[in-house]
Amino acid sequence: MKPRGACRRDRTELGLVVYSVMVSGGYPTDPSASETLPSEAFSPVAARAHAARTMALSHARAVPAADEAGTRMSQPSLAAELARAGRSDRGESHQRFEVDRVLGSGATGQVYAVRDRDLGRTVAVKILARAQGDDEVGRFVDEARITASLQHPNVLPVYEIAVNEQGEVYFLMKRVEGCSLGEALASSSSQAVSERIAAPNAVVNIVIAVANAIACAHRAGIIHQDIKPDNIMLGEFGETLLVDWGSAVRDPATVPHLYGTPLYMSPEQARREYADARSDIYCLGATLFHTALLRPPIWSDDADEFWRRKRAGDIDEITPDERRRTPAPLLAIALKAMAPDPALRYQSARDLISDLERYQAGLAVTAHRDSWLASLSRWHKRHWRTLWATTAGASVIVVLGALLYGERLKELSSWGLPICSEDFSDGSWKERWQVTCGAAEAHDGRLFVSGKGATQVTYRTPLDGDVAIEFDGEMLPGCYPCDLSLQINPKTPGAPVDLPTLVQQPAYLFQFGAHGNSYSRIMDPIRAQCSFNPVRAEVGRIYRVRVEIAGNHLAMMIDGKTICSYTDTYPFPEGYLSLYSYYPGKAFDRVRIYARGLPQKMPGTAIGDFCAQAGLHEQAIDQYHRIAGGGGAHALTQEAVYKEGLSQYRLHRVDSAFATWAAADSEPWRTLVDVHRIDDAFERGDHVQVL
pLDDT tens string 483-506:
999 999 988 777 788 999 999 999
pLDDT of residue 10: 43
73 against 320, higher pLDDT? 320
- The pLDDT > 90 percentage for the chain reads 44
95 against 15, higher pLDDT? 95
569 against 141, higher pLDDT? 141
Q: Sorting pLDDT into bands at 50, 70 and 90, what band is 20? A: very low
Amino acid occupying residue 134: D
pLDDT in tens, 207-265: 999 999 999 999 999 999 999 999 999 998 889 999 989 889 887 655 567 888 999 99
Q: Where are the beta strands (DSSP E) in 417-506?
A: 420-422, 433-437, 440-443, 446-449, 454-459, 466-475, 484-490
Q: Sorting pLDDT into bands at 50, 70 and 90, what band is 4? A: very low
124 against 373, higher pLDDT? 124
**Calpha distance 279→265 (Å, rounded):** 7
Break the chain down into helix, strand, coil percent, rounded to 5.
Answer: 40, 25, 40
Which residue, 261, 247, 213, 260, is CA-closest to 233? 213
Beta bridge partners of 240: 234
pLDDT of residue 11: 40
pLDDT in tens, 322-348: 999 999 999 999 999 999 999 999 999
Q: Where are the beta strands (DSSP E) in 559-625?
A: 561-567, 575-582, 586-596
- The pLDDT > 70 percentage for the chain reads 82
pLDDT of residue 393: 75
Which residue, 688, 608, 689, 687, is CA-closest to 650? 608
**Calpha distance 73→172 (Å, rounded):** 11
442 against 379, higher pLDDT? 442
Contact yes or no for 546/561 (Cβ under 8 A): no
| Beta strands across the sheet bearing 240-242 | 9-11, 176-180, 232-235, 240-242
Distances (CA, A) of 376 to 323, 331, 389, 392: 21, 20, 18, 20
Which residue, 415, 503, 505, 495, is CA-closest to 460? 503
pLDDT of residue 437: 94
Phi and psi dihedrals of 233, rounded to 5?
A: -95, 135
Q: HSE on the CB side for 97, CA within 13 Å?
A: 23
pLDDT in tens, 161-178: 988 888 889 999 999 888
pLDDT in tens, 45-63: 777 776 666 655 555 544 5
pLDDT of residue 26: 37
Which residue, 453, 432, 430, is CA-closest to 441? 430
Contact yes or no for 331/225 (Cβ under 8 A): no
| Average pLDDT across the chain, whole number | 83
Q: Which residues contact 58 (CB under 8 A, 6 or more apart)?
A: 105, 106, 107
Options 2.60.40.10, 3.30.70.360, 3.40.640.10, 2.60.120.560; CATH for 420-596 is 2.60.120.560
pLDDT of residue 572: 78
275 against 390, higher pLDDT? 275
Contact yes or no for 649/676 (Cβ under 8 A): yes
Picking from 179-193, 197-211, 218-232, which range would have the lowest pLDDT averaged per residue?
179-193
Q: Which residues contact 205 (CB under 8 A, 6 or more apart)?
A: 240
- Helix, coil or strand: residue 557: strand
CA angle, 421 then 422 then 428, to 5°: 120
- Helix, coil or strand: residue 101: strand
pLDDT over 70 at 374, yes or no: no
Which residue, 604, 610, 622, is CA-closest to 570? 610
Amino acid occupying residue 594: Y
**Calpha distance 439→458 (Å, rounded):** 12
| Mean pLDDT of all residues in 527-547 | 93
Q: Where are the beta strands (DSSP E) in 17-134?
A: 37-38, 97-105, 109-116, 121-128
Give the start-to-end residue ranges of the domains of the chain: 420-596, 606-690
pLDDT of residue 8: 44
CA angle, 333 then 337 then 341, to 5°: 135
pLDDT in tens, 646-671: 888 888 898 888 888 888 888 888 88
100 against 47, higher pLDDT? 100
CA 230, 98, 110, 81 dihedral sign is positive
- Helix, coil or strand: residue 233: strand
Distances (CA, A) of 158 to 105, 174, 596: 19, 7, 79
Contact yes or no for 118/78 (Cβ under 8 A): yes
Helix (H), strand (E) at residue 412: none
94 against 329, higher pLDDT? 329
Which residue, 394, 385, 303, 371, is CA-closest to 51? 303
**Calpha distance 187→181 (Å, rounded):** 10
DSSP 2: B
- Helix, coil or strand: residue 581: strand
pLDDT over 50 at 144, yes or no: yes
pLDDT of residue 258: 82
pLDDT of residue 59: 53
pLDDT over 90 at 313, yes or no: yes
Helix (H), strand (E) at residue 386: helix 372-411
Phi and psi dihedrals of 405, rounded to 5?
A: -60, -45
pLDDT of residue 610: 76
pLDDT of residue 615: 78
**Calpha distance 553→561 (Å, rounded):** 16
First to last CA, the chain: 83
pLDDT of residue 255: 54
Q: Sorting pLDDT into bands at 50, 70 and 90, what band is 5? A: very low
**Calpha distance 543→537 (Å, rounded):** 8
pLDDT of residue 571: 81
Contact yes or no for 486/580 (Cβ under 8 A): yes
DSSP 358: H
Distances (CA, A) of 625 to 476, 620, 641, 661, 662: 54, 8, 7, 12, 14
Could you tell me the pTM of the whole model? 0.53
pLDDT over 90 at 289, yes or no: yes
Which residue, 296, 249, 229, is CA-closest to 18? 229
Contact yes or no for 173/13 (Cβ under 8 A): yes
**Is residue 628 classed exposed, middle or buried when 0-12, 13-18 and 19+ CB atoms within 10 A define those classes?**
buried
pLDDT over 60 at 13, yes or no: no
